[in-house]
Amino acid sequence: MSVADVTTVTRTATPRRFLMCPPRHFDVTYSINPWMNPAKPVDTSLAFAQWTELKNLYESLGHTVEVIEPLPGLPDMVFAANGATVVNGRVLGARFRHVERTAEGPAYLAWFTEHGYTDVLWPEHINEGEGDYLVVGRKVLAGTGFRTDPRSHAEAQEYFGLPVIGLTLVNPEFYHLDTALAVLSENEIMYYPDAFTPGSQEVLRELFPDAILATAEDAAVFGLNALSDGRHVLLPDAAVQLKTRLRERGFEPIGVDLTELLKAGGSVKCCTLELR
């Protein structure tokens, strides 16, 4: 499909349900990815204001946002995407790689059991939720290399009953799949090829030959940490070239400023867990 063919496409948004966690205890007090520098000050009230703007934006677009209470001592709990993976009401809990975040797994799982989810699995293997599991139509793309154990991919496939496609990340700056790849629709994605091993790049080309490829500049401002509702694509405002590419394909990019949360290595998608 050429760009000329796709500009005429009318994109339709579908209403979504998200789980978000207010950054009331957010800070950078340890470093578990190259973005985190505890010596660099974080404006925690600005972080809260930026997060609130994202939540308001979702609601103004007609989406529903559920909120989980943050726990003191868990500064990264704001990154709700890591709390679980939810497909067809089935909740695969998260088991974190680093001890600093371990307590978030049971905290998120408790939210689900308290909110009527009965199909809930406490996982055997390390997986960091939607940080590494991204659902595209009836498939699940699964990251590994830094956080999620590849053995978790088989566990997820068995639990969800959907094909899980493993992809290996190689660049520590893009330590979660959702920092290097974003789902745009039931069958479209955008990604940064250099974040993946050569074999994984081939797999992505095979499955998504028409994908939007991000430049190094856009990837570096976390442009791929984006959330699409099928029409609107919320992404870091600084990802200038991706916004142009998205417009060419008929999407409506909406730039969001989450600069304080970026100091912990997170942005739009990291703050958002989709409840399917």
Q: Is residue 85 involved in binding ligand ARG (CB under 6 A)?
A: no
Among 76, 188, 218, 229, binds ligand ARG (CB under 6 A): 76
Nearest to 180 by CA among 201, 163, 160: 201
Q: Is residue 127 involved in binding ligand ARG (CB under 6 A)?
A: no
Catalytic residue among 63, 153, 176, 232: 176
Nearest approach in angstroms of CB 153 to ligand ARG is 17
Three-state DSSP state, 146: coil
Q: Is residue 178 involved in binding ligand ARG (CB under 6 A)?
A: yes
Q: Is residue 274 involved in binding ligand ARG (CB under 6 A)?
A: no
CB atoms within 10 A of CB 266: 29
Q: Is residue 236 involved in binding ligand ARG (CB under 6 A)?
A: no
DSSP conformation letters of 108-124? HHHHHHHTT---EE--S
Query: How many of the chain's residues bind ligand ARG (CB under 6 A)?
Result: 16
Tokens 């088989």: give the residue. 154
Q: Which two tokens stand for residue 139?
A: 């498939």
Residue 36 or 107 having the CB closest to ligand ARG: 36
Cα distances (Å, whole numbers) of residue 275 to 110, 169, 195: 15, 25, 27
Q: Is residue 179 involved in binding ligand ARG (CB under 6 A)?
A: yes
Residue 187 exposure: Cα atoms within 13 Å on the Cβ side: 4
The question of whether 270 is a catalytic residue gets the answer yes
Stretch in the footprint of ligand ARG (CB under 6 A) among 55-63, 78-86, 204-212, 242-250: 78-86
Residue 6 or 29 having the CB closest to ligand ARG: 29
Residue 249 or 258 having the CB closest to ligand ARG: 258
The question of whether 271 is a catalytic residue gets the answer no
Among 70, 93, 123, 266, binds ligand ARG (CB under 6 A): 266
Q: Which residues are catalytic?
A: 176, 270
Binding site residues, ligand ARG, CB under 6 A: 32-33, 36, 76, 79, 81-82, 101, 131, 176, 178-179, 264-266, 270
